Structures are given as C-alpha cells and as structure tokens.
Amino acid sequence: MHDINAIRKDPEAFDAGLQKRKLEAQSADLLAKDDARRAAIGVAQDLQTKRNEASKKIGQAKGKGDEAEAQRLMDEVAGLKDSLQQAEEAERTLSQELNAMLAVLPNTLFDDVPIGADENDNVEVRKSGEPKPGEKEHFEIGEALGMDFETAAALSGARFVVLRDQLARLERALGNFMLDLHVQEFGYTEMSVPVLVRDEAMFGTGQLPKFSEDMFRTEEGFWLTSTSEVTLTNTVREKISDAVDLPIRVTALTQCFRSEAGSAGRDTRGMIRLHQFSKVELVSIVDAQSGEAELERKTKCAEEVLKRLGLAYRVVQLCSGDVGFGARKTYDLEVWLPGQNAYREISSVSYCGDFQGRRMNARYRAEGEKSTHYVHTLNGSGLAVGRTLVAVLENYVNADGSVTIPEVLQPYMGGQTLIKPKE
C-alpha cells in the first residue's frame, strides 16, 4: 500500500514509478480523491465540534435540573444531526474509494531494478557450480522410483503428484535439511502455521484484492495459503514491536496451494508446476534501515542450500516487468536442470519495504523515539522443496537409473547413499 502523503509530496516521482511498471500515471486521480476526502473530513469535524459543544451544555443544564433550558438547546441543534450524518457518510465513502484505488497499485521499484519486459530481461548477478549435461527429465527418472502422476490424477486431477517410498522420504529429508540449516546456522525461528487464512491476512501481504483467482478458497471463506510468506509475515499484523526485537527471522515448511489459473499449457508434465507443493519459506521483519542488507543476507541463506546440495545455480535480478506486486527488488535463484538443459527458478527473494507493513498496520518503535514506523518485510523461498527434488534427481541420476543421495542428505535418509529402481 502506498502512502498518500508521500504521493502528495512528490506526485511526479510516484507516476515515474508507475511508469517503470508500465502503468498509467495516477497521481492526479488519487490526489483529487484525496482532496475531496480531506475536505469532507474538515466539514465533518466542524460539525462534530458544534455538536460536542452543544451536547456538553445540554448535559450541564440537565445536571442543574433546568429542563426548559435543556429543551431550548436541544431544539437549537435539531438540524445538526442530519448534516453530520451526511458529512460522516461522505468522509467514509471517499476514504474507502481512495483506499480501494491504493490497494491495487503495485509497490515502487528500486532505482537499481533493470528495465525490461519479462523474465527474458532479467540480469544475471552471479553463477555457482558447473552445469552438467543430461538427457532425462525428472519425471522419466522418477517413474521407476515412485513418482506417480496417474494415481494423483485419479485422486485430484492434473497438477498433483503422489510420491512413494524412497522419493517420499527424500522429499521429507530435503525439507528437514533446509529447516535445520536455516534454524541452526542462520538464526531463523522455526514456526508451524495454519494453511487456511482469512481475507485480512491475504490483504496484508498483497494477494488480495487483486489476485484472488490465483488461490483456492474453501466454502467457509478461508483461503489456502499460496505461500507461508502470508502467515509468517502476518504474525506482526496490527502490532507495535519494540525495535530491540528486530530483526524477526522466521521460517516454516508448509504445503502451498496455487490455482495456476493463468498458466494453462505451461510445465504440464512433471512436478515443476503443481497445485500443491511444499516449500520452506524465510521471512524477515526489519526496521527501515536494515532491509537492503537483509535482502543480500537472505539470498545467501537460500543459496547455501543449493551449495551444500552440490547443485549448480545462478542468481538473477528480476527486471521491472518481472518483479512481483508487493516487492521493490527481487533476486531469483535458478537451479540447473540437466534434463531441461536450462536454469529454472527454485527460489525468489524479495524486499518489500514498508508496503506490507502499511497494509498490515504493523509498526515498530525505535529506541528513544515516541513515534512509530511501519515495519519493513522480506520473504524468500529457502527453497521450493518439490523443485529441489527435481533438481536432485536430474543432477544425481546414474546410468543405471539409480540416484545418488547428496552427502548432506544422507543423515536424513538413514545413512542411505543411493536410491534404486525396484527390480
């Protein structure tokens, strides 16, 4: 959510920011609405002042037992009520209209975000590891090991998967390994959170009101979280934190649910793009000064998972056309998939400034300061577990169809070093 005061102060800068997102200038419309709103507030407040003064006098007269005087005063302000209600209604309506306009505007990009149309214009920042050649895609490798799309289709339809036996355990091993790394070495606090949330939580992180069609909703009105960014970030909703408690770094391994409404025909085979997948999420709540450093730190935390798994990857900075709605700056981690002969997104790490903090009304109080500030938020995958499983299969497959278990995962697999197709 944007700060209308900031827009009023520098409308040109705001419109320039929208233009970088390929959106029309809107400051004129917003400020016109804001002017009307503030005028309405002034009118309503004047009437409230009159009413309060009159009511006080009536109370005093009644206290003295002077009913005639009280009645005279009441007659005097009889007309006030209607005009006050109208003024309050006008103020309410205008505020709601302004908020509705602001709620659908994306965050302002940082100056260093490169201009571009889509993911093809993203800029490579660094690379790690040597991309290997390979022939088989993960679903070809996985078939013999317990990756079962037919059964999943019978249960739930397209874009679901059933993992059996050693693959199921490998998925669990990956999740546990990631959580342990972030908790033990990077100071994140592990959380177990709901996957069903209310409208307010989805609004706070920016999924609502604009992206309702990307998510699933229950008949009771709950939303299934598309990422635990929603729950982890909203833990500070409507709260005022002490600056000494920042940064708050939290992580969770949850199932994520996405309708994939706009992606028909993309990644239809395999487990790259599913309606349900598990992901380890990393969220930070920080003060206004620490955001950019935290973005670099979090990116490194996510990268470390890939390094320890021995997977080649690259870091790209998203261009203006690819940065998400709530973010000011985003790094994607792309893992090398030999079967696809390509780097594919496996993590996305974003700095949102105070955009979500303002939507959540989440604030902090700096030491020695009386006033409050909105918290700054960051989120990133650390990593998408399903896609990491894909990467392990394609990078560690052997000629006989078996898959070597990366060393760091072996303790999580009971010491097992290899998973083999059934005879």
Q: Which one of residues 18, 30, 58, 87 is an interface residue with RNA (CB under 7 A)?
A: 58
Select 52 or 255, whichever has its Cβ closest to RNA.
52
Contact 361, 377 (CB under 8 A): no
| Total Cβ atoms within 10 A of residue 59 | 12
For tokens 């696809």, the residue is 340
User: Given the rule CB under 7 A, which of 124-132, 282-290, 293-301, 364-372 is the region that contacts RNA?
Assistant: 364-372
What whole-number distance in Å separates Cα of residue 295 and Cα of residue 95? 34
Of residues 143-182, those binding RNA (CB under 7 A): none
- Least distance from C-beta 77 to RNA, angstroms? 5
Q: Which run of H or of E encompasses 351?
A: strand 342-351
Q: Which of 9, 23, 28, 52 binds RNA (CB under 7 A)?
A: 52
Closer CB to RNA, residue 33 or residue 363?
363
**Cβ nearer to RNA, comparing 76 with 296:** 76
For residues 236-274, b (16+ Cβ closer than 10 Å) or e, as one string?
bbeeebeeeebbbbbbbbbebbbbeeeeeeeeeebbbbb
288 lies in the binding site for RNA (CB under 7 A): no
Q: How far apart are CA 179 and CA 280, in angstroms?
A: 7
Q: Which residues pair with 349 in a beta bridge?
A: 331, 380
Q: How far is the CB of 371 from RNA (least distance, A)?
A: 6
Question: What are φ and ψ of residue 64, in 5° steps?
Answer: -85, -5
Segment 181 to 240, residues that bind RNA, using CB under 7 A: 240
Q: How far apart are the first and last CA of the chain?
A: 57
218: phi then psi, degrees, rounded to nearest 5: -85, 165
Q: How far is the CB of 73 from RNA (least distance, A)?
A: 7
* Residues in binding contact with RNA, number by CB under 7 A: 35
SS3 (DSSP) at 134: coil
Query: Who's near 180: CB < 8 A, 6+ residues apart?
Result: none
CB of 293 to RNA, least distance (A): 25
Report the site for RNA in 69-98 (rule: CB under 7 A): 74, 77-78, 80-81, 84-85, 89, 92
Contact pick of 26, 55, 235, 290 for RNA (by CB under 7 A): 55
User: Is 5 an interacting residue with respect to RNA (CB under 7 A)?
Assistant: yes
Q: Which residue's CB is nearer to RNA, number 44 or number 105?
A: 44
Structure tokens, 315: 């870091």
CB 412 within 8 A of CB 179: no
Which window, 13-21, 257-265, 365-373, 395-403, contacts RNA (CB under 7 A)?
A: 365-373
Question: And the tokens for 388?
Answer: 């990491």
| Residue 51 C-beta: closest distance to RNA, Å | 5
Pick between residue 328 and residue 363 the one whose CB is nearest to RNA. 363
Kindly tell me which of 49 and 268 has the beta carbon lying closer to RNA: 49
> Which 237-266 positions form the footprint of RNA (CB under 7 A)?
240
Of 58-66, 152-160, 314-322, 396-404: span binding RNA (CB under 7 A):
58-66
Tell me the closest approach of the beta carbon of residue 98 to RNA, in angstroms.
10
Is residue 392 helix, strand or coil? helix
Structure tokens at 65: 């037992």
Q: How many helices (H) and strands (E) does the chain have?
A: 13, 17
- Amino acid code (one letter) for 242: D
In degrees, to the nearest 5, what angle opens at C-alpha 69 toward C-alphas 67 and 71? 65
Report the nearest approach of RNA to the CB of residue 67 (Å).
Answer: 10
Among 10, 23, 28, 59, binds RNA (CB under 7 A): 59
Contact positions toward RNA, by CB under 7 A?
4-5, 38, 41-42, 45, 48-49, 51-56, 58-60, 62-64, 74, 77-78, 80-81, 84-85, 89, 92, 240, 363, 365, 370-372
